Structure 1
Amino acid sequence: MKQVKQFILLAAAFFMAIGGSVWASTITTIQSTDLISDSRATINTNFSNLNTDKIEAFGYRDIGIGGLIATGTVSFLGGTFNLGNGSATTTISYNATGIGVSSTSPAQLFSVGGRIYLTGGLGVGVTTTTAGTIETSGKVYVGGSNLTVAGAGVSSFAGTLTVTGNVTLSGTGNTVGTITSGTWNGTAIGAVYGGTAQTTWATGDILYASATNVLSKLTAGTRGTILSITIGGIPGWISTSTFAVLTANNVWTGTNDFGGGASLEIPNAASPTVDAAGEIAIDTTTGQLKWYDGTNTHITLGEFDRTIIIASTTPDANYKSYKTGTSTFRVWNPYRAVTMDRFYCQTVRGISGDLFIRFGDGSASTTYANCGNAGTEKSSLSNNAFTSRERMFLEVGGTSGLVDSITITATFNLTAD
C-alpha cells in the first residue's frame, strides 16, 4: 500500500513539474486504499478532458474517509448503505421496487421499517407550511382497527362524513341540521323530547296522555265497547250493554242510569231559548226551568203566594183599634226558609179608608205600604228573610176613613239549600 501511495505522489510531482495533470482511469488494489487528509478528502469526477471518471476499490477491507464532498453525481449501483454511530446502524437499501430505510426489501417506492419523526408538517399532494399538520389533497385511509383522536379540541368536517360501520357516542350528540334518512334503533325517545316513549305498537293502539308529560297507549277495544272518559279524565273502553236500548219509536225503556252519576245535567244558560217541542232548559239567571210544549213556553217558578184576609163585623171598633194604635197578628211559621219578594194589599169599604201594612219577625219589620181601596203593591223590601219555623207577624196600623176588611197577598221565594 505504501508503494502505491509513493507511486501516486511521485507521478503527481512529475506531472505537476512538467505542467501536466493527474488523472486516473481506474485505481485497483487488492488491499485497502486509504484516502487520507488532515481535514477532508476531495474526489472530483467528470473531468472535461478525460473520458474515464471513476475510482474503484476492490478488496477485503473498508474504505476509510474522513470527509467526502462530491461536486458531481454519486451513484450506488447496488447493495446497501449503512449509517452508524458505533452502537447502532441504520441500513439504506435499494432494489427495483424502491428505497428502503431499515428495510432491505422495500415493497413500495419508499419504505420505512421503523418510526418517522417530522418536526414540521407533512403534505401529501399539497404544500403545507404548518408544523405538526398532515394535509392531503386526496383521501386518508385508516386500515387499522380504530382511529383515535386523543386531543380535546373540536374536529371539523367541511364536507360529508360517511361511516359504513357503527358509531358509538359516549358523550352528548348535538345537531344543528336535519336528520333526513335512516332508521332509529336506540332507546325510545321520551315525550318531552318529541317522542312517544313506546317501543312496540299493536293494531288499533291509541296514544294518549296519561299524566303530565307522559304518553301511554290504550289497546284497541273489543266488539260491543265504546270509548269513554273514565274517572281521572283518561280514555277507556266500556261495554254498550250498560246503556239502555232504544225502541223503534226512540223511547227509553227500563231503568236508565245516565253516566253513573247521582244527577242528570240539563242544558242551562242565561236566558236560554226553548222554541221546539220538547226542549227544556234551566235559566241560570232566574233559576227557572223552562220548556216548550210545541205551542207555548212554560216556566216553573221558585216562588209562591200566601194570602191573608182581616175582616170584622164591627168595622167601627176595628177602625178605632187601628186608628188608635198598631195591631199585630201572628200569621205563619214557614217550614222552609223563605224570602218575601213583595206583597199586595187592598181595603174594602164603601167609604175610602187607608191602613198601614208591614211584616216582621218580632224584632225587625219590612218596609210598610199604605193600603187603600185602589190597592197597593210593595217591593224592594228590607228585613224580608225568614228562617225555617221562624215566627212571622202582620202589623196593621190605622190612618183615616172606614175599613171593613183588608186582603194582603205576600209573594215568597224558597231560599236555596
Structure 2
Amino acid sequence: MTTRGTTWKALLGSALLACTLLAPQASAAALTEVTGFGDNPGGMRMHVYVPDARPAKPAVVVAMHGCGGSGPGFHSSSEFASLADRHGFVVIYPSAQQEAGFGKCFDTWSEAAKRRGGGSDPVSIVSMVNHVVQRYGGDASRVFATGSSSGGMMTNHMLALYPDVFKAGAAFMGVPFDCFANAADFPPGRSRCTGGSMNRTPQQWGDSVRRVNPGFTGPRPKVQLWHGTADTLVPYSLLQESMEQWTDVFGVGQTPTSTDTPRPGWNRSRYGADVEVYSVQGAGHTLPSSGMAAVALEFFGITGSPGPAPGPCSVKAKVTAWNNGLVESLTITNTGSAPVNGWSLAFTLPTGQTITSGWNATYSPATGQVTARNTGHNAAIAPGGAVEIGFQSTHTGNTAAASAFALNGTACAAG
C-alpha cells in the first residue's frame, strides 16, 4: 500500500508539474518578422532579434541558415541570440526563398546575384542591413556576416560583393565566391563546385572577387572559415579553395603565419591578420557546434576573447518517469570564480526521448543534441550560484537522464 501511495503521489506531482510547464514564462527580447524593409528582389523574409539591453549604436550580425532551413530555425538552433543578449548586438535572420531542388537556399549561382547591385538575394540582404541601421540605430561601421552551409556560401558572397558594408565574416561549411557556374551547377550530385574536384589557382579565385569591384581600394572585410574534415555534402577540400581565394585577395601567401589548437579538434591556421581558418577534426556537415559562434564574435571584435573556457560548472539531473513520459530537472551550478552573464547549455538527450515543453529555458531541437538557452530572468549565474531548469519529455522506454553537458561550450561535471 505504501509503495502504491508513493507511486501515485509521484505521478500526481509529475502531472501537476507538467501542467505548470505550459504556463507563460518571462522572456527576453523576441524574434520579430519585419516586412517592407526595402528593395527585396529576392522576395526574402526577414526576422530580427533586438536584445533588450544594447548600446546606442549596436553592432549588427547577419546570420544565415542552410538549405531547407529558415531564419527562425537558425535563430533557435544557433547560439547567436543568446550571445546577443549578453553582448548587446542586433541579429538579422534572413529566410531564403529560392528553390534549389532540395529546399530553399540562398542564391549564390545566378548572374544577377554575382553582380554588385545586380539583384536577387544579395540586394535584399543589404536592404535588411540598411533597415536595421535606420530603425534600431545599428552601427553601420560594425556589420558582420555569418552562416551555415548555404548561409556560409552567402557569407563569402556578401563579403566579395559588399566589402564596404561588411567589416568581417565567418563562413561555416561554405564555398568560395563564384564557385557555382549557374543554377544547374548548384544541386549536389551534379555540381562541379561541390562535386569534390573543384581546383582553381589562388589568383583565379582572387580575380573573381576583384572583378566585382575593379575600382575598390578600401579595406576588405576579414574572413574566418570553418569546415569539418568529415564533411561530404560540401566537401572539406573546398576549405582549401576558400582559403586560397581570400589569401590572394589580401595579398598574403598560402603558408600559415601561425597554427594552434584552441579547443580539442579545432585546428586553427592564421594567414596574416585578416584570414583565419578552422579545420574541425571528425566533424561532418554539422557546423556551427557549441562554442563556435562565440569564437566568431571574438574574431569580429564584438566581444573579448572567450579564452579556452569560460569557467567550471556542474549539472545535476533528476528524472521522474511514468508510462511514456518523464519530467527532468537540471540544476546548473557555476563552480568558477567569475559570473556567467548569458548562457546556453548543450546536452545529449537519450534515444527515444522528445521534449514537449519546458520551463526556465528555451530548448532546441526537441531530440538528440539539444541546446537550452536562458530566459530573461535567469541569464546571470553568480560564482557559486545555481539556476534550475527543466522539461517534460515523451520516451519509448529509455528513461535515463540527459548527459554530456556543456555550458557556453565548456564541459560541466556531473553534480
Is TM-score (shorter-chain normalized) higher than 0.5?
no
Report TM bin, short chain: under 0.3
* Higher relative helix content: 2
TM-score (norm 2): 0.22
**Which one has a bigger Cα radius of gyration?**
1
TM-score (norm 1): 0.22
- The structure, 1 or 2, with the larger RCO (C-alpha pairs under 8 Å, 6+ apart) is 2
